[in-house]
Amino acid sequence: MAQLLKPAAHRSLLPATEVDPAYKQLRLKVFLGIFIGYAGYYLVRKNFSMVVPDLIEQGFTKSDLGVVMSAISISYGISKFIMGTVSDRSNARIFLSLGLILSALTMVWMGLSPMATGSIQVMFVLLFLNGWFQGMGWPPCGRVMVHWFSVKERGTKMSIWNVAHNVGGGLMAPIAIAGLTVFGTWQGKLYFPALVALVVALITYWLVRDTPQSCGLPSIEQYKGEASADYNETHEKELSTRQILMDYVLVNKLIWYIALANAFIYLVRYGVLDWAPTYLKEAKGFSLSETGWAYFLYEWAGIPGTLLCGWLSDKVFNGRRAPATIIYMLLVLVAVLVYWQNPAGNPLVDNIALIAIGFLIYGPVMLIGVHALDLVPKKAAGTAAGLTGLFGYLGGAVFANAAMGFVVDAWGWDGGFYVLLASCVLAVVFTALTWKKETHSSLA
Ligand SMILES: O=P(O)(O)OC[C@H](O)CO
């Protein structure tokens, strides 16, 4: 396995006249590869939620199924970090495709074997496994990004790539429903998106290449002429896991700050999203279909918001990440205040506030990842982003589900909103701690 995964070997340089056309063509190909590949991961990330109503009809309770679904957040958070360290020492082309194949096969198994959906324990284990394989998605995309795109274009390119998760998440439901229609059984919602994901994995393998050097090309720094003062050849050498962790990631205070900021950003992301249907119904009197629309708009408003945020970071703030993150989070705070304080009976204002939160929150979600990539050498990119993901999911997403419910039960929706507002403030504070030290071209 180690042999299969090891980073692609460097090849001798192409003749100078061939470098530019080859770089242009391959950058487009690898970008398409990681975009389609990550969208594919989202086809099988949450398609289990589509069969929850069917499982309730089989006799399972909501709380049991809630526990089962938390398996994905827990294992995904841990895996994004651990598999991030493995990914930094692996060929991104193989790693990204392999993770998607394993995740898809898990869901095919779940759909085809009656035993796999026969008990809470088996479902928990399978979804835990799926979450683990899902953790093989983000880090190799990060590795591809830092090897093929320079620091100054990363904000923009990452913001476009980040849309992949909205596209994949948005396509999952219609594909799952097509599975139900074509196969005439609810299990089709499990295995049909997984079969599509298997095809996506093959396309990903066909498109992605590990590094420019493995294609006979110079490093992106040499090609773009954007090498920073401290960039040198050692930045192109693969690192050991110990070096990645002890020399670059765990010792970097700034990474800890953005990981903590990410926990609060994810608490807002999932705290608003996951509780929107319940809050809008209970506190604002929304109907089921009105709630559905509000949820949909929240997700899709994230696309233009993310693109604008990446552009701002690259073009207005010259590759710095903290200013755009802080501005977006302060605006999220205002939108959350409106969403909370708007009296029932003004659904337009609630929808505008929710769309504003959706528009604004995905920018910081994306920029934390870019910021992590900026703070370490290229060969430690997946691990740095993985650490922020660990905090985002284990700290933010799990808290948003479990603890928010407890807070709302104990102190009502006001209590929940105090948590969300405090999270916005803390996200700003932890991001601000990186303000002075953030030098966008310090590492590549
Ligand atoms: O929550 P994740 O790990 O799927 O990441 C979502 C976005 O891609 C963050 O950039």
Interval 268-297: pLDDT, tens: 998 888 788 778 888 998 876 777 677 678
Instruction: Please indicate, yes or no, whether residues 72 and 132 belong to a single structural domain of this protein.
Output: yes
235 occurs within a structural domain = no
138 occurs within a structural domain = yes
* End residue of a domain, out of 225, 254, 275: 225
* End residue of a domain, out of 225, 253, 268: 225
100 occurs within a structural domain = yes
pLDDT of residue 219: 92
Least confident of 14-18, 63-67, 107-111, 280-284: 63-67
Q: Whole-angstrom Cα distance, residue 394 to residue 401? A: 11
Q: Whole-angstrom Cα distance, residue 391 to residue 387? A: 7
Instruction: Please indicate, yes or no, whether residues 257 and 177 belong to a single structural domain of this protein.
Output: no
Instruction: Please indicate, yes or no, whether residues 115 and 154 belong to a single structural domain of this protein.
Output: yes
366, 391, 398, best to mutate for ligand 1 pocket (most atoms within 8 Å of CB): 366
pLDDT tier at 232 (50, 70, 90 boundaries)? Answer: low
Q: What percentage of the chain's residues is helix, strand, coil (to nearest 5)? A: 80, 0, 20
Instruction: Please indicate, yes or no, whether residues 393 and 257 belong to a single structural domain of this protein.
Output: yes
Residue-wise pLDDT for 353-363, tens only, equals 999 999 999 99
351 occurs within a structural domain = yes
Angle between helices 62-87 and 381-390 (to 10 degrees): 160
Nearest C-alpha neighbor of 200 from the set 104, 127, 111:
104
Q: Determine which residue's CA is closest to atom 1 belonging to ligand 1.
A: 389
Closest approach atom of ligand 1 to CA 41: 4
pLDDT of residue 442: 43
* End residue of a domain, out of 201, 225, 249: 225
To 5 degrees, how large is the angle CA 101–CA 144–CA 31? 80
138, 146, 367, best to mutate for ligand 1 pocket (most atoms within 8 Å of CB): 138
392 occurs within a structural domain = yes
Q: Determine which residue's CA is closest to atom 5 belonging to ligand 1.
A: 138
115 occurs within a structural domain = yes
Instruction: Please indicate, yes or no, whether residues 332 and 212 belong to a single structural domain of this protein.
Output: no
The number of folded domains in the chain is 2
Q: Has this prediction a pTM greater than 0.80?
A: yes
Instruction: Please indicate, yes or no, whether residues 197 and 276 belong to a single structural domain of this protein.
Output: no
Closest approach atom of ligand 1 to CA 45: 4
386 occurs within a structural domain = yes
Q: Determine which residue's CA is closest to atom 6 belonging to ligand 1.
A: 165
Residue 368 reports pLDDT greater than 70: yes
Instruction: Please indicate, yes or no, whether residues 102 and 247 belong to a single structural domain of this protein.
Output: no
Instruction: Please indicate, yes or no, whether residues 79 and 194 belong to a single structural domain of this protein.
Output: yes
212 occurs within a structural domain = yes
Structural domain span for residue 382: 241-432
134, 165, 362, 388, best to mutate for ligand 1 pocket (most atoms within 8 Å of CB): 165
Ligand 1 centroid to 57 CA: how many Å? 32
Instruction: Please indicate, yes or no, whether residues 200 and 300 belong to a single structural domain of this protein.
Output: no
- Ligand 1 neighbours by CB, cut-off 6 Å: 138, 162, 165, 365-366, 369, 389
What number of CA atoms fall less than 13 Å from residue 218's CA on the CB side? 18
Instruction: Please indicate, yes or no, whether residues 326 and 254 belong to a single structural domain of this protein.
Output: yes
Domain holding 52: CATH number?
Answer: 1.20.1250.20
Instruction: Please indicate, yes or no, whether residues 303 and 354 belong to a single structural domain of this protein.
Output: yes
Instruction: Please indicate, yes or no, whether residues 189 and 81 belong to a single structural domain of this protein.
Output: yes
